[in-house]
Structure 1
Amino acid sequence: MQPEQVADIVRQSFNDCEVSVSGDSGHLNVTVIGEQFAGMSAVNKQRSVYKVLADYITSGELHAVNIHCHTPSERQKALSFPISDS
């Protein structure tokens, strides 16, 4: 399954969110950013996206998926952290 196919599937369920998918056909990184994650724990955010992809994972079409979910403000905070050279 190609990254753009996975992005389309996720966008159908999270249509008010920014969705990006990278990686190769079996091992993908899925990032979903949207206000609907406000107040949710990190685990529940991931579960909500995993639920959309579960059938594809079970069937073997997807082998490994890393899911990252944030609200826009959480994402902005993460991007503003300086990277240490240590």
Structure 2
Amino acid sequence: MDCEQVKAILTDAITAEEIVVKQEGTHYKIIVVDDQFDGMSRVKQQQTVYAPLMEKIQDGTLHAITIKAFTSAQWKREKIFNG
């Protein structure tokens, strides 16, 4: 499964201002930016992003995933400080 396929699953399932998917071997790094994450716990944020991918995780298509969820303001700060 390539990055665009993962992004398409997420785009179809959740509303997001921005979705970035990067792949390094079998590991996927997913960044989702949207203000829906404001006030949500980290666990709830990750559950929101994991849910649409669960079928692919369970069948072994997706193995290692790192998820980072940001509000618009948090993402702006992240890009300033971490390029």
Q: Which bracket does the TM-score occupy, shorter chain normalised?
A: 0.7 to 0.9
SS at match of 2:50: helix
TM-score between both structures, scaled by the size of structure 1:
0.85
List runs of 5+ in structure 1 lacking aligned partners. none
Q: Corresponding residue for 1:37? A: 37
Q: Corresponding residue for 2:72? A: 72
Residue 57 of structure 2 is aligned to residue 57 of structure 1: yes
SS at match of 1:50: helix
Q: What is the CA-CA distance between 1:53 and the residue it aligns to?
A: 0.7
Cα distance per residue 1:18-73 (max 9 Å; x no partner): 11100146210011000111110111101111111111001000011101100010
Q: Corresponding residue for 1:8? A: 8
- Aligned pair count reads 83
TM-score between both structures, scaled by the size of structure 2:
0.88
Identical aligned pairs, as a percentage?
A: 33
SS at match of 2:74: helix
Contact 2:18 2:32 in 1 (8 A): yes
Q: CA distance change for structure 1 residues 82 and 11 in 2, over 3 Å: closer, same or farther?
A: closer
Contact 1:26 1:61 in 2 (8 A): no
Root-mean-square deviation over aligned CA pairs: 1.8
